Structure 1
Amino acid sequence: MFLNVHSSYSLKYGTQSISQLIAAARHLGIHQMVLTDINNSGGAVEFIRECYKQGIAKAADDIHKGNIPYQIKPVAGIEFRGDNGLRYVGIAKNKEGMRELNTFLSHHHINHLPLPQTPPAMENVYIVYPFYKTFDKTLKANEYVGIRAKQLNHLYQHPLLKQKDKLLVWHPVTVSDKVTYRLHEYLRAIALNTLLSKVPDDEKCQPDEFLIPEAELTQRFEQYPFIVQNTQKLINSCDLSAYFEDSTVPSSKNRFHYTKTGLEGDKKMLRRLATLGLKYRYGEYHQEALKRLEKELRIIELKNFCAYFLITFDMVRYAINKCGFYHVGRGSGANSMVAYCLRITDVDPIDLDLYFERFLHEKRTSPPDFDIDFSWDERETIQKYIFKRYPKWHVAFLGTMSTFKDRAVIREIGKVLGLPKAEIDGFTDPAKERQNLSDATYQKLLAVHRYLKSMPNQRSIHAGGILISQEPITYYTALDMPPKGFATVQWDMYEAEAIGYEKFDILSQRGIGHIREAVQLIKQNKNKDIDIHDFKSFKKDEKVNAILKEGQPIGCFYIESPAMRQLLKKLKCDNYLTLVAASSIIRPGVASSGMMKSYIERYHAPEKVVYLCDVMKQQLSETYGVMVYQEDVIKVCHYFAGLNLADADILRKAMSGKYRSKLAFDELVNKFFASARKQGHSEALITEVWRQISSFAGYSFSKAHSASFAVESYQSLYLKTYYPMEFMVAVLNNYGGFYSRWVYVYELQKTGAKVHLPCVNHSDEVVNIRGEDAYLGFIGIQGLEEKVIKIIPHERAANGPYLHLEDFVKRTCIPLEQAIILIRLGALRFTGKDRKTLLWDVHQYLGFKQKKVNHAELFKISYKTYQLPALADSDLENAYTELELLGYPLNYNMFDFLKTPFRGEVMAADLPRYLGQTVRMVGNYVCEKTVHTVKNNKMWFGTFLDARGDFFDTTHFPNTSPQYPFKGKGCYLILGKVVEDFGFQSIEVLRFAKLAIQLNPVAIH
């Protein structure tokens, strides 16, 4: 009877979640509802599924209480609004009707078209218009008019009585009570960006738009029983039971096949490609690899994932062969040898003893997925290929749904209440949270926020998830068109998994860009071809491993952060397997649980490790008895407890919080204990092993994922070891990594490169290198416009070097303020004139309003020249200019800004000789990290460079940090105690102060 129900997916309008709506309906004994969210169908399939699930779950309870069990009949549609006004509601007769509605809405979203006043013909859809007094439209067979109970008095002698079979009961549902109506008003004010008191009535729902018993609704229409009959007949004719299929089995959602010959063709093609890849990876006869390949292919075929592998292979093949792109295949997909043979990943699962079951097994119900990383500037090319490769309506990006949980919502609530900006700023300042708690207005904001925080706020686009379907995706959702320009579904990855969709994660990272460009620069600058995929030789290279052991891999993907550098030094890491472990134990959960420290201790004293039993020693000797990886959990469950690998992975996943059924989880736990007892283990041993598994499983990290990162780290390390100049230029041109840009410029200088300021006759948009001369690019100069950045190298390439200032000005048509930026930075030093003389000269050319000419000069006109007196210039002034325009001084050490000549009593390299002593050091600030102690107090970790250019690290405990805080960039005087942890020295700070600097000479004058 309820034809127009809004959930919270009617963004900033509806107030109830799907589950709340269904629970409320069951409480009132309502048997049928039509979910019609505004201009979206993001909750439709969830609504259908939850009605079905709640019906099953409640049936047993109803029977126990003597009630007749029933299931709410779910019907779905879309409410179409344009110009903030209701146009009509579309209700799907069946699954085809949902596709028609979603396709209609998608067409308008994707093409940015306004919704028409009358929808097009849709064979499987009912259209319901709102009633109004002057309604005189002749309705088509599938068109109706919905009338509210309070509007019934307008029916007297109304033309619609001539079409009485077209009238329906209209009782919209938006809120649940007075409190949620007020919440609805807040939502509308936020949506309209206006004061709560100024939200127009026609922008809000009516206060009575909540569920009521069906009998009460019928009673309101007792004078017009035919309207109730019409409504019941319409709902009875709708059937969406096709959506009740079991989403845990392969369905028509995902693409059935890759080849034209269908499933059998896919099987043959995958086997052929995998066999060829096996020879490439392992050679002609490798019995262990052949045996594993057959095992994996059997499961892939059984689970109907051949097409998934082949589609992923097609993307990678296109990237490698057609585009010359590099990629990294990571995540649990790297556990697959088939993926390794297809070059989807570069991780050898046999070499690392990786279990395929971590990725896919016979009992897995949720679809697996590959995570494929491309360079940050190449990913879109692959995405475009995928969208062209597969038909319209069959490929789309995953969406995401952000909620109101962000504290920024406090600011939104404050704005709609009309609070002054200063007061709102105070309420959103974390430092004032304690004092705010006693403020009545703040308490009101928090009360509203508590209602809002779990509600959907806005739809967005997933980082890289793409769906490719066999049947049109519009059976399950309408599509949006975000600014990125790719069709996007209206729900997120969790709903996609619940429906049964496999996703393809096409991601990006800057580390791949570093590697790609470094290889290109080495070819250009050194004329050498580098096979960056020759990983097997990289990991055995002594020089590469020596740099890894030093813990100074600045610029190298995933291993350059202060925390990772410290860990590498503590482990004295000099091999691939240890790096894989380090990539896992650095994760926050593992580190904070104390397992990182335990691993380091055991790593340095393996002879002292006491294993619980021989099985644990055999399976965990590589990690010294510590379960470092998710795969370790699987191994212990399999080899110790005797569970098969499929059940072992299900249990691993359940302990990580991804299992929804407590009953099923308890059955698995019981199975673990029962199976372990059959292996002959004592009860005490089983209990202790289970304690270790359960305490770790939630923190664990996939070994395959760590191994993928470690491969890329080794590629970066190899390039930095043998071609450091080109590598650091590539890092700079791909926007660096963990640190600020100046750190990488400094690293480039340390390689022996002569780094020059930008020059109009030598620089390009980005940094370039010729021999040992590296010129900074125009990108990165503060205030320089993009068109100027592009025109300078383009014009120079077309017509030769610039001859003098006048030539440069005329050829580039550069504005005065842009020319001033370049001159101040020394980019026109090729003229032989100092910066101040050039600034004088440029005003002679551009210091008046220029008339634009659209033709070349007939005669070359020279400007008069004037003899200027010598103008004072200084290195300090130029360094300040570089600091302003680049963010760092290139040719002037930060320490030279200081008023004091003191550079510290101790340098970073000398710290081992001062263990336990209190020392004074001077450090140039690099970065800081804030953490919270177990008592929720803040403490900091700092990273600095000394006057020799060596890194050192500091620890700032809560008792010293408030008294001696960080104050941004600059040099600091540090008094602290030298401490050591597993061979890594750092400073426990006692006192800490930012040092004064010399004033800019320009400011003095």
Structure 2
Amino acid sequence: MFVHLRLHSEFSVVDGTVRIDEVVEAAAADGQPALGLTDLSNLFGAIKFYKAARGAGVKPVLGAEVFVQGLGPEAAPGASVQQHSLPRMLLLVQTHQGYLNLCELLARAWTRNMVRDQAALKWEWLQELGAGLILLSGAHSGPVGLPLLAGDEARAQDVAQQLAAAFPQRFYLELQRAGRTDDERQVVGAVQLAARLQLPVVATHPVQFLGPDDYEAHEARVCISEGEILGNQRRVRKFTREQYFKSAAEMAALFHDIPSALANSVEIARRCNLTLVLGKPQLPNFPIPPVDGRVMSVDDYFRHVSHQGLEGRLLHLFPDEAKRNAERPRYVERLEFELNTILKMGFPGYFLIVGDFIQWAKENGCPVGPGRGSGAGSLVAYALLITDLDPLQYNLLFERFLNPERVSMPDFDIDFCQTNRDRVIDYVKDKYGKDAVSQIATFGTMAARAAIRDVGRVLDFAYGFCDGISKLIPNKPGMSVTLQYPPDPPKPGDKNNYAIAMEPVLAERIEREEDVKTLIELAQKLEGMTRNIGMHAGGVLIAPGKLTDFCPLYQQPGSDSAVSQYDKDDVEAVGLVKFDFLGLATLTILELAREFIVRRHPDQQDFAFERIPLDDRKTYQLFSDGKTEAVFQFESRGMQGMLRDAKPSRLEDLIALNALYRPGPMDLIPSFVARKHGREVVEYPHPLVEPVLSETYGIMVYQEQVMQTAQVLGGYSLGGADMLRRAMGKKKPEEMAEHRVIFRKGAAEKGISQEKADEVFDLMEKFAGYGFNKSHAAAYSLLAYHTGWLKVHFTAEFFCANMTIEMDDTDKLKVLYVDATHFGISFDPPDVNRGSYRFEPVSDKVIRYGLGAVKGTGQQAIEAIVAAREGRGVGPRGDTVGPFTSLFDFCARVDRSRLNKRTVEALIKAGAFDSLEINRAALLASVERAFDFANAQQANANQGGLFDMFGADSQGASTQEPELAALPIWGIKERLTYEKTAIGFYLSGHLFDEVEREVRRFARMPLAHVVDSRDPIMVAGIVNDLRIINGQRGKVAIFKLDDKSGTLEATADEALINANKHLLKDDELVVAQVLAQPDRFSGGLRLKVQALWDLGAARCRFGKYLRVTVNGRAPDVAALLREFPAQREIGEQGELVRGLPVRLEVLRETARCEVQLGERAQCFPTDAALAAWKAQAHEQRAEIVFD
């Protein structure tokens, strides 16, 4: 008999490939009574292993392999821990106290003692917290084995004695035969030492992978983590082919000569008796303050504050006392029902804890969302200010959140302003103790595509080859695809999506190419395996005491934030309660906008979004027009098109549209819109459900409507209806059959036939599959309304807040900039004398561009600039208050430790120095000079005492500002090109400016005036946002054409792409013949390109001739024609000549004539050609005649 006590699973991350379910199954199949899991420095997989093992009838033994500091070579006098590898040993949990001690030890190692990015236990910690733990020596890698192999038996004996004394009757010398060259020496030495010291020995096997054929996959995983190549002959190979999960018989054969070592493996397993209590939530104790001097129980206090909070809400909802008194009974009735349910389930503390930190957030400048998820359906949550949406007004159901007939932990998802979220977490840490609060680990896994790329790299295959194979894996949103071979024959109920079955090209290449087969089959073994440890986006744990009484902690090397070693499912299993603190950028935007509003409007000092009216006509008009760029939840083009069709006129419409616009129910949108506007008859599944479905025009949109229909027609309680909804979502046939019988019976009692009952039941089942949670849709639609209202009524503040939040994303900034101009907003350029880090409103229609949005700057640099303006600068001019007077003054006053030359250059390119000097070229060329001047100023100031001896004039030369470099001002194109590198787009002008007058001679229609037309039209503009996609009929170029008057999306087919590769580029001017067609996505127009020209070709196409004025001296026509000849192309119609005839306009004092040069005297009129002709013409008069 033998028990494996040493095993690295996939949760060892760097060197284990054993999947827990598979190894538990193997142990059970082999008849092994117990199994140990000892991942490296962690218990990441402990709870999953514990459940799986118990489920399979195998006794779970929990433990960890640990690095120990203070017992190895690093502990010798004068040695450094950085110079030696730390020894490793094995800790196994014997009792519940041992589990608690191991949790504490691992937490300390990760948070307090990282050695070369490895968590290490200190020897004194082991001595302190060894109770309830069994210690194994670590074989050849342990503090006993290492000196044994080095021939230092005295040291080995000394360490063994120390360990035996610290772990009396709980220390074993470990023996291994895993195919390493020094294994037998270690075994012999350990057995002899054990005999001398009367210590027990135990046989272990260092399991790293499941079966012998998994060795290559394991080595690939090791190489992935170490950045190595699998076939590198110089690579250090730390593992052997023998380190698979051996059967008990194989281990018995391996240690037939030391039977006690085998027996002790079983004995140790027998001694390890850990029982975990799972699934029992344990809330922290909420401190109850006295009320009017009275000490209250948690239940009484909960009831008291809920009623008190409701009164405050009713006062706000119904300012009229008579109306308030009339409405109060139904609110109190609902409140009492919820209170009784919550108290019966034992969750008042949960509500009080959540209400407390949300209240703190609201009182301390940390904006909180109105609600999220089903929690918005609770009136108690509304009364306690946890949510800000009246559930009775919007018919939201408490039972969708907390079902009286199914006890489960409530789960509030709370949105906080992104920038302030951590402050709320810090408050919770201060209130409950830092040892009681942490965030939650997540385990990133190797998805199919990532596995292919990782494996391809360690196989040293070409990147392009691997990338091409990975792109054959279907990648559809919401669909999980596997690399595994599909089972043959198919298994009933198999819901996996098999890439090899979905993509015939992949299957064919696996069959045909050996490298592809090797790559896929190795990736198959690693697919889905834990790859890295992360942090849950919002989950925060609050423990009733120390977190390590429940689970160990992990801290990423270089981080200062600890997380649980268990994921969200496992922390809940061990009894910890998760609170979701989610960061939402929209709340940050609203808070920033509120700050701008209060600062700029004296009459808005008490402004709050909670007080804005929810029936504002202009806001609903914004939604109806689809002008919802940057409006929360409604910003996508598809959503904008839906809004234009639906024309919402109340919050309920926004809620429904928000719920409908997702896969599945999207098909119902046309019917919803038609019914809303009277184009389709509103029908109900049964007259009794009209009150339930009237707000959505007879269409089931929400999960709550499914529940209410079950209640009204099937006689369900709302709690029972929630159970029905869950069953419908799971689609289990046996459960559905049971519920159908219940529904038929309830319907029959209301006089409804079985046929009709089945019809409605089928309809409910269909909608339950994709119906949306109304509480969530309502809360988020309220937030959407707030952002829409802000955009209408405080437009400048809206865009300032959004652009400040998005200032690191140039693409989003450009979209916002364009949208702002459509709303009549103009922008003052960035300015070192007026600007700050953020975008700021100057007036209702003017925004000052944020200096922080200039690429190459940063918050520290901008703060230094503002500080210098306010007299908090550096150097002899540092206390000067007011605007900078020159580039030299700027560099002398701003703290240059926070500002480098690249930052100054970026600000110049962006136009931020235009208020000091309009010549950006001169400024840019003078940056080095300005920094030298500033350094000299500082040096003089530091030696001021010396210069004072000679009088002030001694410094005169160095205080005189030098001249700027003498350079001509940039032209429009050069200025804008530099500007785009600094800002991301053009702010001070437009590339179309230089050519607009000429282009309008032949492309007369501005894009802003284009209308739907069947006839081709000529347009011109600058290409932006070009992308090329693979369409059904070949490649398609999609780009925006911008002529300053407006922007329209255009498309060009593959033939045009191939013929105009030089032209179809961002920032290029194109002239195009197009058809203007309606675009149902944007609600505007889309241009279908039929022909394209650059400006030179367009001049040839639409110009008549080039007229060059001559007065006396004739130009060198032959040289000019040689330098700028007509272009000749060979096409289907033969040779095509593209050029303009040249006419000389000859002037005399009393006469003027035009001379047409010969037929071959044609030039191709590029900008350079025109400039050359002008240079030799009289008074630079050379122009193209179009009419």
TM-score band, normalised by shorter chain: 0.7 to 0.9
CA 728–939 in structure 1, closer or farther in 2 if over 3 Å, else same: farther
From 454, 458, 461, the equivalent of 2:535 is 461
Find the counterpart in structure 2 of residue 473 from structure 1.
Answer: 547
Residue 702 of structure 1 aligns with an amino acid whose one-letter code is N
- Are the counterparts in 2 of residues 372 and 505 from structure 1 also a CA contact under 8 Å? yes
CA 964–111 in structure 1, closer or farther in 2 if over 3 Å, else same: farther
- Are the counterparts in 2 of residues 405 and 453 from structure 1 also a CA contact under 8 Å? yes
From 336, 339, 353, the equivalent of 1:311 is 353
Find the counterpart in structure 2 of residue 47 from structure 1.
Answer: 49
The TM-score normalised by the length of structure 2 is 0.75
- Are the counterparts in 2 of residues 570 and 981 from structure 1 also a CA contact under 8 Å? no
Residue 231 of structure 2 aligns with an amino acid whose one-letter code is S
Query: In the alignment, is residue 233 of structure 1 matched against residue 267 of structure 2?
Result: yes
Deviation by residue 1:672-706 (Cα, 9 ceiling, x = unmatched) = 45555555433433333333333333323211111
Find the counterpart in structure 2 of residue 28 from structure 1.
Answer: 30
- Are the counterparts in 2 of residues 330 and 705 from structure 1 also a CA contact under 8 Å? yes
Alignment of 1:347-496 (within 5 A): 347-405=389-447, 407-428=449-470, 434=505, 439-482=513-556, 485-496=560-571
Find the counterpart in structure 2 of residue 710 from structure 1.
Answer: 781
CA 177–967 in structure 1, closer or farther in 2 if over 3 Å, else same: farther
Alignment of 1:612-627 (within 5 A): 612-627=685-700
SS of 1:80's equivalent in the other structure is strand
Deviation by residue 1:876-931 (Cα, 9 ceiling, x = unmatched) = 332222222101111324654778447785856875xx488877777877879999
CA 881–156 in structure 1, closer or farther in 2 if over 3 Å, else same: closer
- Are the counterparts in 1 of residues 703 and 772 from structure 2 also a CA contact under 8 Å? yes
Query: In the alignment, is residue 759 of structure 1 matched against residue 759 of structure 2?
Result: no
CA 617–924 in structure 1, closer or farther in 2 if over 3 Å, else same: farther
Counterpart CA distance in 2 for 1:769 and 1:36 is 60
Counterpart CA distance in 1 for 2:940 and 2:548 is 52
Residue 91 of structure 1 aligns with an amino acid whose one-letter code is L
Counterpart CA distance in 2 for 1:99 and 1:528 is 59
Residue 652 of structure 1 aligns with an amino acid whose one-letter code is R
CA 815–93 in structure 1, closer or farther in 2 if over 3 Å, else same: closer
Query: In the alignment, is residue 978 of structure 1 matched against residue 1077 of structure 2?
Result: yes
Find the counterpart in structure 2 of residue 689 from structure 1.
Answer: 760
Deviation at 1:224, TM superposition (A): 3.4
Structure 1 range deviating more: 668-677 or 330-339: 668-677
SS of 1:588's equivalent in the other structure is coil
Deviation at 1:238, TM superposition (A): 1.7
Deviation by residue 1:336-368 (Cα, 9 ceiling, x = unmatched) = 111111221111111110101111112335433
CA 156–704 in structure 1, closer or farther in 2 if over 3 Å, else same: closer
Deviation at 1:443, TM superposition (A): 2.8
Alignment of 1:522-671 (within 5 A): 522-529=597-604, 533=608, 535=610, 537-591=612-666, 594-605=667-678, 608-657=681-730, 667-668=738-739, 671=742
Deviation at 1:600, TM superposition (A): 2.5
Residue 856 of structure 2 aligns with an amino acid whose one-letter code is G
Structure 1 range deviating more: 706-715 or 287-296: 706-715
- Are the counterparts in 2 of residues 379 and 508 from structure 1 also a CA contact under 8 Å? yes
Counterpart CA distance in 1 for 2:799 and 2:296 is 49
From 961, 965, 988, the equivalent of 1:891 is 988
Counterpart CA distance in 1 for 2:528 and 2:962 is 70
* Larger RCO of the pair (alpha carbons < 8 Å, separation 6+): 1
Alignment of 1:947-958 (within 5 A): none
Find the counterpart in structure 2 of residue 845 from structure 1.
Answer: 930
Alignment of 1:50-129 (within 5 A): 50-54=52-56, 71-81=57-67, 87-114=88-115, 115-116=120-121, 118=123, 119-121=126-128, 122-129=130-137
Larger Rg: 2
From 302, 316, 319, the equivalent of 1:270 is 302
Counterpart CA distance in 2 for 1:956 and 1:401 is 44
CA 117–651 in structure 1, closer or farther in 2 if over 3 Å, else same: same
Find the counterpart in structure 2 of residue 325 from structure 1.
Answer: 367
Find the counterpart in structure 1 of residue 226 from structure 2.
Answer: 192
- Are the counterparts in 1 of residues 1006 and 1043 from structure 2 also a CA contact under 8 Å? no
CA 502–648 in structure 1, closer or farther in 2 if over 3 Å, else same: farther
Find the counterpart in structure 2 of residue 65 from structure 1.
Answer: none
Deviation at 1:309, TM superposition (A): 1.1
Counterpart CA distance in 1 for 2:1093 and 2:67 is 61
Deviation at 1:939, TM superposition (A): 10
Counterpart CA distance in 1 for 2:349 and 2:1022 is 55
SS of 1:242's equivalent in the other structure is coil
Residue 209 of structure 1 aligns with an amino acid whose one-letter code is Q
Deviation at 1:3, TM superposition (A): 1.0
Deviation by residue 1:128-179 (Cα, 9 ceiling, x = unmatched) = 1123345422123132222135757616971211344521221233322122
Find the counterpart in structure 2 of residue 143 from structure 1.
Answer: 171
Counterpart CA distance in 2 for 1:941 and 1:298 is 62
CA 878–570 in structure 1, closer or farther in 2 if over 3 Å, else same: same
Counterpart CA distance in 1 for 2:1039 and 2:308 is 49
SS of 1:127's equivalent in the other structure is strand
Residue 99 of structure 2 aligns with an amino acid whose one-letter code is M
CA 497–549 in structure 1, closer or farther in 2 if over 3 Å, else same: same
SS of 1:361's equivalent in the other structure is coil
Query: In the alignment, is residue 740 of structure 1 matched against residue 812 of structure 2?
Result: yes
SS of 1:362's equivalent in the other structure is coil
Structure 1 range deviating more: 725-734 or 430-439: 430-439
Deviation by residue 1:224-246 (Cα, 9 ceiling, x = unmatched) = 34334433332222212233x4x
Deviation at 1:807, TM superposition (A): 1.3
- Are the counterparts in 1 of residues 1049 and 1087 from structure 2 also a CA contact under 8 Å? no
Structure 1 range deviating more: 289-298 or 127-136: 127-136
Query: In the alignment, is residue 825 of structure 1 matched against residue 924 of structure 2?
Result: no
Find the counterpart in structure 2 of residue 62 from structure 1.
Answer: none
CA 95–952 in structure 1, closer or farther in 2 if over 3 Å, else same: farther
Alignment of 1:842-991 (within 5 A): 842-846=927-931, 853=939, 855-856=941-942, 858=944, 859=955, 861-863=958-960, 871-893=968-990, 895-896=992-993, 900-901=999-1000, 911=1011, 914=1012, 975-976=1074-1075, 978-979=1077-1078, 985-987=1083-1085, 990-991=1088-1089
Residue 354 of structure 1 aligns with an amino acid whose one-letter code is L
Deviation by residue 1:265-316 (Cα, 9 ceiling, x = unmatched) = 3222222222122112223531111111111111111222212111111111
Counterpart CA distance in 1 for 2:382 and 2:762 is 35
- Are the counterparts in 2 of residues 94 and 240 from structure 1 also a CA contact under 8 Å? yes
Deviation at 1:803, TM superposition (A): 2.2
Deviation at 1:222, TM superposition (A): 4.6
Counterpart CA distance in 2 for 1:926 and 1:271 is 61
Query: In the alignment, is residue 287 of structure 1 matched against residue 289 of structure 2?
Result: no
Query: In the alignment, is residue 506 of structure 1 matched against residue 591 of structure 2?
Result: no
Gaps of 5+ in 1: 55-70
Deviation at 1:719, TM superposition (A): 2.0
SS of 2:35's equivalent in the other structure is strand
SS of 2:36's equivalent in the other structure is strand
- Are the counterparts in 1 of residues 727 and 735 from structure 2 also a CA contact under 8 Å? no
Counterpart CA distance in 2 for 1:989 and 1:319 is 50
Deviation at 1:422, TM superposition (A): 4.7
The TM-score normalised by the length of structure 1 is 0.87
CA 113–149 in structure 1, closer or farther in 2 if over 3 Å, else same: closer
Deviation by residue 1:707-753 (Cα, 9 ceiling, x = unmatched) = 11111122222222222112211111121799620232334445555
Deviation at 1:124, TM superposition (A): 1.1
Counterpart CA distance in 1 for 2:721 and 2:590 is 38
From 222, 239, 244, the equivalent of 1:210 is 244
- Are the counterparts in 2 of residues 402 and 460 from structure 1 also a CA contact under 8 Å? yes
- Are the counterparts in 2 of residues 257 and 306 from structure 1 also a CA contact under 8 Å? no
